[in-house]
């Protein structure tokens, strides 16, 4: 019986090892691709979560600023108020004096008559982001002397919240026509660390 030469076995062994090395390389490349895709997906999820958390934080800051503006408006309407620009006497429980179509200016700044039926609400058409001298809204503290921390340093509202006050007839059930008084609807907008982050809140206030 003749046996194949030793060189034949060596050649076959080399071919098998070569094929094994090629299979390992492909497997490694596939694993690297899978790990890379998983890593990219995980990083994107972390970024999205961080953005969502930041947005929620900024929205909460804007909401709290708007709530603070409602409180400032309450001091504006009812007092106590020792500011030199205070106008508590302007808010009569039975008069609409000082309230104007499209909102007033000067001492009547932000005092608005409600829009007519079928028209957009006045609080929808007023620009709360306007900080110019022709603005129709009241900045926090304008008539109360109270202060509100704003700015770009730290996590705080970029600008102070603003509000308007509308006068409405009090149509509470059970009140006679002769006893009807006025209600005040306050609409306030607060801002987050960026002016584009905004929150709007509203309240109906009765001054007895």
The range of the structural domain enclosing residue 85 comes to 63-206
Half-sphere exposure of 89 (CA within 13 A, CB side): 5
Structure tokens at 68: 């603070």
Q: State the pTM of this model.
A: 0.75
Q: Please list the ranges in the chain whose pLDDT falls under 50.
A: 8-9
DSSP 205: E
In a domain, 172, yes or no: yes
8 A C-beta contact, residue 90 and residue 98? yes
Q: Is residue 9 part of a domain?
A: no
Q: pLDDT tens-digit profile of 20-38?
A: 556 677 888 888 888 888 8
Cβ distance 109 to 139 under 8 Å?
no
What letter does residue 155 receive in the DSSP assignment?
S
Alpha carbon distance 108, 95 (integer Å): 14
Q: Is residue 118 part of a domain?
A: yes
Q: Is 60 left (phi over 0), alpha (psi -120 to 50) or beta?
A: alpha
Max CA separation in the chain (angstroms): 130
State the total domains in the chain: 1
Q: Which residues contact 26 (CB under 8 A, 6 or more apart)?
A: none
Instruction: Establish if 28 belongs to a structural domain.
Output: no
d(CA 34, CA 137): 56
Residue 11 lies in a domain: no
Percent of the chain with pLDDT over 70: 86
In tens, the pLDDT along 96-118 reads 888 999 899 999 999 999 988 88
Backbone φ, ψ for residue 32 (5° rounding): -65, -40
pLDDT recorded at residue 35:
84
Q: What is d(CA 128, CA 162) in angstroms, rounded to the nearest whole number?
A: 6
**Is residue 194 included in any domain, yes or no?**
yes
Tokens of 200: 């709007």
- Residue 153, SS3 per DSSP: coil
Structural domain contains residue 186: yes
47 in a structural domain: no
Query: Position of tokens 């609807």?
Result: 185
């Amino acid at each position: 019986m003749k046996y194949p030469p030793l060189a034949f076995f060596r050649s076959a062994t080399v071919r098998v090892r070569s094929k094994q090395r090629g299979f390992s390389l492909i497997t490694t490349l596939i694993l690297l691709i899978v790990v890379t895709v998983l890593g990219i997906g995980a990083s994107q999820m972390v970024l999205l979560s961080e953005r969502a958390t930041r947005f929620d934080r900024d929205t909460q800051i804007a909401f709290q600023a708007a709530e603070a503006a409602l409180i400032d408006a309450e001091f504006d309407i009812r007092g106590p108020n020792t500011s030199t620009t205070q106008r508590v006497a302007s808010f009569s429980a039975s008069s609409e004096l000082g309230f104007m179509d499209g909102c007033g200016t000067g001492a009547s700044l932000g005092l608005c008559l409600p829009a007519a039926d079928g028209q957009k609400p006045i609080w929808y058409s007023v620009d709360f982001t306007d900080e110019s001298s022709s603005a129709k809204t009241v900045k926090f503290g304008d008539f109360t002397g109270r202060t509100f921390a704003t700015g770009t340093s730290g996590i705080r509202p970029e600008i102070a919240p603003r509000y308007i006050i509308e006068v409405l007839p009090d149509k509470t059930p059970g009140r006679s026509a002769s006893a009807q008084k006025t209600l005040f609807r306050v609409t306030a907008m607060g801002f987050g660390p960026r002016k584009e982050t905004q929150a709007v809140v509203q309240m109906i206030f009765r001054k007895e």
